[in-house]
């Protein structure tokens, strides 16, 4: 890719929460950055590694909050790069997995802004394993489906057709799904998935206050309501969830509701 800017943007994945899960390359970019544009889900502890004098700009949005537009964030990256500065766009998890990293790459490329992507440890698999749930396992899960809790509002047609595909995979990981958990459960059950299918809800995965709830698909929404689950949380649906009872190795806040019913 040809670029004309004197500065450069590094789109960096910060990992799921535990600051030690950031990559060495991501850490190097942070240490050398002039400007760091930070999303809400990035652990603030990571910013301790920035160099003295670097500027931090917070652009994170809370669920349901319009906050700063993506267009504004795009223009912010471009503005600083055109000044000849080293810019880090720091995003939680991996920047390309439901993180609009691809959109930001398109924008920067269209404007001739030099950029580099530093992949991060994704919450797709890292948050579940912090709760003792391996998303694949030779005996229990040979296929994996990853879906967002909500698709972009400007889409004319929904691309995630849970009724059609939910029953054809062993394990489903839902990111950003707390607000739409009831809808997701209904779609899967109507599509033929067993209502008693085990589900793990992992709130603030890999943080010191991680909380894990084990429940069933039919009780997913009631479990969220009962325990007051709030984002960020990862939802895992599949038989592999039962392994959490034996393999849980991190965190002490565990609610096992698998055999309780709704």
Domain with 135 in it: 123-256
Query: How big, in percent rounded to 5, are the helix, strand and coil portions of the chain?
Result: 35, 25, 45
- Same domain? For 103 and 128 the reply is no
pLDDT of residue 66: 60
Nearest to 49 by CA among 94, 100, 15, 2: 15
Residue where a domain stops, chosen among 83, 118, 153:
118
pLDDT of residue 43: 96
Cβ contacts of 218 within 8 Å, gap of 6 or more: 185, 189, 195, 196, 262
pLDDT of residue 65: 58
For the record, the structure tokens of 160 come out as 């995630």
Q: What is the pLDDT of residues 100-153, one digit of tens each?
A: 999 999 999 999 999 999 999 999 999 999 999 999 999 999 999 999 987 644
Active site residue 39: yes
Active site residue 61: yes
Contact 101, 95 (CB under 8 A): yes
Indicate which residue of 25, 28, 61, 163 is catalytic: 61
Burial class of residue 198, CB neighbours in 10 A (0-12, 13-18, 19+):
buried
Contact 47, 67 (CB under 8 A): no
Q: Which CATH number does the domain housing residue 173 bear?
A: 3.30.950.10
- Same domain? For 141 and 224 the reply is yes
Indicate which residue of 105, 176, 197, 248 is catalytic: 176
Torsional sign, CA 155, 157, 159, 164: positive
Per-chain mean pLDDT for the chain: 93
CA pair distance 191, 197, nearest whole angstrom: 13
- Same domain? For 225 and 181 the reply is yes
- Same domain? For 162 and 63 the reply is no
CA pair distance 38, 35, nearest whole angstrom: 10
Active site residue 176: yes
- Same domain? For 85 and 128 the reply is no
Residue 240 pLDDT class (50, 70, 90 cuts): very high
- Same domain? For 112 and 141 the reply is no
Residue where a domain stops, chosen among 99, 118, 137:
118
CA pair distance 256, 86, nearest whole angstrom: 47
- pTM for the structure as a whole: 0.92
- Same domain? For 163 and 221 the reply is yes
Q: Looking at the 3D structure of the chain, how many domains does it have?
A: 2
Indicate which residue of 8, 18, 34, 39 is catalytic: 39
- Same domain? For 12 and 97 the reply is yes
- Same domain? For 145 and 187 the reply is yes
Q: What is the pLDDT of residues 150-198, one digit of tens each?
A: 764 444 555 678 999 888 999 999 999 999 999 999 999 999 999 999 9
Contact 50, 31 (CB under 8 A): yes
């Amino acid at each position: 890719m040809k670029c004309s800017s004197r500065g450069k943007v590094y789109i960096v994945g910060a990992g799921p929460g535990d600051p030690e899960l950031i990559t060495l390359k991501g850490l190097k970019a942070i240490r050398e950055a002039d400007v760091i544009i930070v999303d809400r889900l990035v652990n603030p502890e990571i910013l301790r590694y920035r160099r003295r004098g670097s500027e931090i700009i917070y652009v994170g949005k809370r669920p349901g909050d319009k906050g700063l537009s993506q267009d504004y964030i795009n223009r912010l990256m471009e503005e600083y790069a055109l000044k000849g500065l080293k810019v880090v766009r720091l995003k939680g998890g991996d920047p390309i997995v439901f993180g609009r990293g691809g959109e930001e790459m398109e924008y920067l490329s269209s404007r001739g802004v030099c950029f580099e992507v530093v992949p991060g440890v994704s919450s797709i698999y890292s948050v579940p394993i912090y709760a003792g749930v391996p998303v694949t396992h030779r005996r229990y899960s040979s296929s994996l489906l990853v879906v967002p809790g909500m698709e972009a509002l400007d889409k004319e047609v929904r691309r995630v057709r849970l009724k059609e595909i939910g029953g054809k995979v062993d394990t489903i990981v839902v990111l950003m799904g707390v607000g739409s958990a009831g809808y997701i459960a209904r779609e899967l059950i109507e599509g033929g998935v067993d209502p008693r299918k085990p589900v793990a809800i992992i709130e603030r995965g890999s943080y010191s206050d991680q909380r894990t709830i084990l429940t069933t698909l039919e009780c997913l929404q009631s479990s969220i309501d009962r325990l007051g689950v709030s984002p960020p949380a990862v939802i895992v649906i599949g038989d592999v969830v039962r392994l959490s009872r034996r393999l849980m190795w991190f965190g002490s806040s565990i609610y096992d509701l698998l055999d309780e019913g709704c």
